[in-house]
Amino acid sequence: MHAVENEVETIHLYVVREQEQKPYTSLPLLGALLCLLGIAAITFYSAEHPYYEHQRLTVPAVLLPPRMFTAQTPFIPTGVGTYPATTAHGILTITNGSVISQTLPAGLIFISSSGTSVVTDQAVFIPAGSANGYGVAYVSAHALISGQQGNIPAFAINRVEGSSVYVRNLVAFQGGRDAYSVKFITSNDRNVAFSKVRNILISKITGLHYPCTEAHIADVHKMTVTWRCQFVKYTVPSYMHVTGVRIIGKNLLLDVWFVPRPIRICVK
């Protein structure tokens, strides 16, 4: 018989003190979740908004027949001119039937048949009458009231002053006008109309063209503007997604910004 040696088995025990245990935290899990959400958002945005590098190409322009565009708009006057009332003026004929000459001072007032008063502008000498006829003199006068009321008709003044002096207006008084105001077109009104017509033309024109030549005509009522525009066209491969075109000076060349055709990569 063989004797079996008894081997001593050693058991190692590890004791963890309670105060040394670390508390549980969810920060690593939360960080991982946020990272996954960020990756998903970037992936979704990239699918909806793929990035392409823009390129530039210079191509020849092809001229199209020129076109004419015309628009007009009325002036809207904003200026206001005010004019005061004016006074009527006329001539009085004074006849002297006396054999004695007379002098009438300035400022004598005579009342017409309509009730409008007129006043002499200066003194007047009236010669005496004689066997050849009455002495006659003329003196200017004006209405005391301004406006059309002072335009008295002929013979509205026909009266005898004293015993031998006759005063008449053989011709109607004229020049009396009531106060009034009128609207007129200012330079700003013209500028406003010009800008309005240009905006109308801009809304009418679509397509690529060289700067249009302009002609405008303004009368007392409206502003008319005509544009002559030279349109152009260009040809690029159909797969190009054009994002912008610019005419280079007066040369028949165009700068075209486009997105190149995406390259597909097949993975087997």
- Would you state the structure tokens that stand for residue 86, as one six-digit string? 């004016």
Q: What is the pLDDT of residue 1?
A: 42
For residue 53, give the 3-state DSSP assignment: coil
Q: What is the pTM of this model?
A: 0.51
**Mean pLDDT score, 151-158:** 95
Q: What is the pLDDT of residue 8?
A: 46
C-alpha to C-alpha distance for 142 and 149, rounded to whole angstroms:
12
C-alpha to C-alpha distance for 136 and 127, rounded to whole angstroms:
7
Q: What is the pLDDT of residue 107?
A: 94
Least confident of 36-45, 120-129, 244-253: 36-45
Q: Are 210 and 67 in contact (CB under 8 A)?
A: no
**Mean pLDDT score, 145-168:** 90
Q: What is the pLDDT of residue 233?
A: 85
Residue 133 has pLDDT above 90, yes or no: no
Residue 47 has pLDDT above 70, yes or no: no
Other Cβ atoms less than 10 A from the Cβ of 16: the count is 7
Q: What is the pLDDT of residue 39?
A: 66
C-alpha to C-alpha distance for 126 and 94, rounded to whole angstroms:
7
C-alpha to C-alpha distance for 169 and 157, rounded to whole angstroms:
6
**Mean pLDDT score, 13-42:** 59
Least confident of 60-64, 96-100, 142-146, 147-151: 60-64
Q: What are the residues whose beta carbons fall under 8 Å from the beta carbon of 114, sequence distance 6 or more?
A: 152, 156
Closest C-alpha to 230, from 205, 256, 204: 205
Residue 173 has pLDDT above 60, yes or no: yes
Give the residue, 207 or 169, on which the prediction is more confident: 169
C-alpha to C-alpha distance for 139 and 251, rounded to whole angstroms:
81
Domains, the chain, in order of start with CATH, read 55-76+185-259 (no CATH), 85-178 (2.40.30)
Kindly indicate the confidence band of residue 15, based on its pLDDT and cuts at 50, 70 and 90: very low
Q: What are the residues whose beta carbons fall under 8 Å from the beta carbon of 81, sequence distance 6 or more?
A: 181, 182, 183, 184
Q: What is the pLDDT of residue 245?
A: 79
Q: What is the pLDDT of residue 201?
A: 93
| Mean of the per-residue pLDDT values of the chain | 81
> In this predicted model, what pLDDT tens digit does every residue of 82-94 receive, in sequence order?
999 999 999 999 9
Q: What are the residues whose beta carbons fall under 8 Å from the beta carbon of 192, sequence distance 6 or more?
A: 76
**Mean pLDDT score, 49-59:** 63
Report CA-CA distances (Å) from 26 to 18, 29, 95.
Answer: 21, 5, 128
Q: Which residues pair with 69 in a beta bridge?
A: 227
C-alpha to C-alpha distance for 83 and 125, rounded to whole angstroms:
37
